[in-house]
Amino acid sequence: MNMAIGYGAILLFTALVVFVMSRGRRGDSSMSDYATGGRSFNSWFGTMSFLNTWLAGTVFIAFAGLTASAGVMGMYSLSYSLLSVVLMFFLGTPVNKWGRIHDLRTQADLLGLRYNSRSVRIIAAIIGVLASVPWVVLGMQSLGLVFSTLSFGQVSPYLAVMIGVLFIAARQIWTVKLGTRGIIISDMVQGLFAYGIGFLVILGLLVWLFANGHGFGAVAPQLLQLPGPDSPAGPLYLFSLIFTGMMGAWCWPDLFVRMFSVRSPRTVQKSALQAAPLLFIFSAALTTMSLLASSVPGVSDAPDTVWFIMAGIGGVGLVAVAGICVVAATMGNVGANLQALGTQIANDVVGARGEERIESSKGAKIAVAAVTVVSAAVALATANQVSGLVVIAFVSYQAICQLAPTLLLGIFWRRGTAAAANAAMVSGILVAAVLELIYPSPLSIPWLGGLTSGVAGLIVNLTVYLAVSLAKPATQAEQERVDSLFADLKRETVTISR
C-alpha cells in the first residue's frame, strides 16, 4: 500500500506536468522557436526556469548529502549560486540583444557570431555537450534513490535506478516534441512544487530538529569548521570550489539559452533580481536542515539519503511529497539539459558544417532523442553507483568552466580573437583533463596550494587567451565587425538580421 502511494503520487504529478506542457503547445516550430521558445516569456517564467534548471534534483540528494557529511563546507554552493545570479544581471543585455538581432539559438551560436569562427562554435558546443551529459546521468541516477525510497523496501536499489532511468527517459518524449517552450511552461509547475512546497517541508523539518535536540549544539564540531590554511586539502581548496562554480555557471548550455527565451534584456535583469532572494532562502534553508540533521541517527551512515530520512519523520505522505520535490527538480534540469544539448548538436556541430543555417527543428528533435538514449544507457551501466554522486558534479564543473574566458571576455572585451578562443579552450580542457586523471575530484592539487584541476586549467586557459589576443590582434576588418556588434547593444530597438 505504501509503495502504491509513493509511486502513484509521482505518476499523478507527472501527468499534471505533461498536461500543462501540452496546453502550452503551439504546433511544430522552426529551429529558432524550438530553441528559444519564441523569445516571448516574462520575468517570472524566466525566474522559475532559471531556478528549475539551476537547482537540479540532486540538490536534495548529493549536495544535501555533502553538507550532512562535510558540514558547513557544503554551503559553498550557496555562495557561487548567488554570484551566478549577479553575473546573470550583467549578461542579460548583450546576450538577449545579440540573440534577437542575429537570431541566435544557443550559447555556441553566440560564440560563433562573436568570433566569426566555425571552429570556435564547434569546440564550444562539444565542450558543452561533454560536460553536460554527466549531469543528465546524475539526474537519472538520483531518481533511483527516489524510487527506491518510495518503494518502502519493495524494490532493490539497482532496480530502482533502472526504473528512474526509464521514467525520466519516457518523460523526455514531451521535451523532444515541445522544445524550450514546453520546458519553460513546465518549469513553472515543477519549480513551484520543488522549491515552494519543498521549502515548506524544510521549514517543518527545521522546527522538528530544533524541538528534538538537534540544534547547532548537537552538530559535531568538525562539521562547523571550514578548511583553513593547514587543511589537508590545501588553503585554496574552498576558493577553488566557489570560483569554479561561479565561472562555470553561465557556461552551461541549458542555462545560457534562458537569456534568449525571455522578452528583453530588462526581463533577464528582473529575473535575476527575483531569483536571488528565492535562491538564497531555499538553499540556505536546505543546507541548514542538512547540517542539523547530521546528528540524527542513520544520517552519517548514508548522508545522500538525508532528505528522505528526515521526511520519514512525517510518515508515508511526507516521504511521497519529498519524492515529488526531487522528481520535479530533476525533470526541470534533465529536460533543459537534453533540449539544449540536442539543439546544440544539430545547430552548432552538424549545422556548422554547412553554409546555410538549419531552419527546421527536426534535426534537433532527433539529437535530443539520441542524447536521451545515450545518457540512459550510461546511467543504466553505472546503476550500481548510488552514493557519492556529488563527485560527478565536481568533475563536470572542471570541464565546463573552461568555456568561461572565451565566453565572458568575448562578451565584455572587444580584443579577443578566434585564434585566442580556440587555443584557450583546447589548452584549458587538456590541462584540466590531465590533472583530473592525476588528482581525481574531489581531490585538490597539493603543489598548487589546494587548487582543483578546473582552476589550474582556467589559469592556463586565461593566460593563453590574453597572450594570443595581444600578440596577434584581429585584422582591421575583423575589429570593425566586432565594434559593430558592440554598437548594436546601444540601440533601443533591434531587428532580426539572420
Q: What's the residue count for the chain? A: 498
User: pLDDT-based confidence at 31, cuts 50/70/90?
Assistant: confident
Region 394-412: mean pLDDT is 92
Higher-scoring residue by pLDDT: 120, 371: 120
Of the candidates 290, 287, 291, 250, which has an alpha carbon nearest to the alpha carbon of residue 272? 250
Of the candidates 320, 204, 337, 205, which has an alpha carbon nearest to the alpha carbon of residue 258? 337
> Which stretch, 62-66, 173-177, 281-285, has highest mean pLDDT?
281-285
Of the candidates 132, 130, 496, which has an alpha carbon nearest to the alpha carbon of residue 333? 132
Range 2-387 has CATH code 1.20.1730.10: yes
Which residues lie below 8 Å from residue 201, measured CB to CB, with a gap of 6+? Answer: 311, 318, 321, 322, 325
Of the candidates 248, 255, 246, which has an alpha carbon nearest to the alpha carbon of residue 56? 255
**pLDDT of 220 higher than 70:** yes
CA distances from 75 to 66, 111, 206, 231, 285 (A): 9, 32, 17, 17, 11
Region 387-399: mean pLDDT is 73
User: pLDDT-based confidence at 24, cuts 50/70/90?
Assistant: low
Of the candidates 220, 249, 317, which has an alpha carbon nearest to the alpha carbon of residue 85? 249
Q: Is the dihedral of CA 415, 271, 337, 349 positive or negative?
A: negative
Residue 435: helix, strand or coil by DSSP?
A: helix
Following CA atoms 312, 318, 324, 329 in sequence, which dihedral angle do they give, to the nearest 10 degrees?
-70
Between CA 288 and CA 18 the distance in angstroms is 33
Report yes or no: 461 and 425 within 8 Å, Cβ to Cβ.
yes
Q: Which pLDDT score, from 0 to 100, does residue 1 have?
A: 79
**pLDDT of 399 higher than 70:** yes
First-to-last C-alpha distance (Å) of the chain: 57
Q: Which pLDDT score, from 0 to 100, does residue 27 have?
A: 53
Region 194-222: mean pLDDT is 95
Q: Is the dihedral of CA 407, 413, 418, 421 positive or negative?
A: negative
Give the CA radius of gyration of the chain.
22
User: Quick one: 366 exposed, middle or buried, by C-beta within 10 A (0-12, 13-18, 19+)?
Assistant: middle
Please give the model's pTM, rounded to 2 decimal places: 0.89
Q: Which three cell numbers mark 86?
A: 549577479
Which residues lie below 8 Å from residue 449, measured CB to CB, with a gap of 6+? Answer: 234, 235, 236
* Averaged pLDDT score across all residues of the chain: 88
Produce one character per residue of 250-271: b if its CB has 16 or more CB atoms within 10 Å, e if not. Answer: bbbbbbbbbbbbbbbbebbbbb
Q: Which pLDDT score, from 0 to 100, does residue 388 have?
A: 52
User: Quick one: 105 exposed, middle or buried, by C-beta within 10 A (0-12, 13-18, 19+)?
Assistant: buried
Task: Give residue 371's identity as a one-letter amino acid code.
Answer: V
Residue 330: helix, strand or coil by DSSP?
A: helix
Q: Is the dihedral of CA 490, 493, 497, 498 positive or negative?
A: positive
Report yes or no: 325 and 13 within 8 Å, Cβ to Cβ.
no
Q: Which three cell numbers mark 364?
A: 534537433
Report yes or no: 67 and 59 within 8 Å, Cβ to Cβ.
no
Which residues lie below 8 Å from residue 101, measured CB to CB, with a gap of 6+? Answer: 488, 494, 495, 496, 497
Region 304-315: mean pLDDT is 94
CA distances from 478 to 252, 416, 481 (A): 28, 11, 5
User: pLDDT-based confidence at 387, cuts 50/70/90?
Assistant: low
Higher-scoring residue by pLDDT: 497, 187: 187
Region 15-40: mean pLDDT is 78
Region 188-212: mean pLDDT is 96
Higher-scoring residue by pLDDT: 353, 265: 265
Region 293-302: mean pLDDT is 93
Q: Which pLDDT score, from 0 to 100, does residue 498 have?
A: 45
Lowest mean pLDDT among 234-248, 281-295, 372-386, 399-413: 372-386
Which residues lie below 8 Å from residue 177, measured CB to CB, with a gap of 6+? Answer: 25, 365
Q: DSSP state, 40?
A: -
Higher-scoring residue by pLDDT: 43, 390: 43
Higher-scoring residue by pLDDT: 2, 424: 424
**pLDDT of 416 higher than 80:** yes
**pLDDT of 496 higher than 50:** no
Percentage of the chain lying above the pLDDT 70 cut: 95
CA angle, residues 8, 187, 393, in degrees to nearest 5: 90
Region 255-275: mean pLDDT is 92
Can you say whether residue 13 is alpha, beta or left, with left for phi > 0 and alpha for psi between -120 and 50 degrees? alpha
How far is CA 415 from its chain centroid? Answer: 29
Q: Which pLDDT score, from 0 to 100, does residue 177 have?
A: 77
**pLDDT of 389 higher than 70:** no
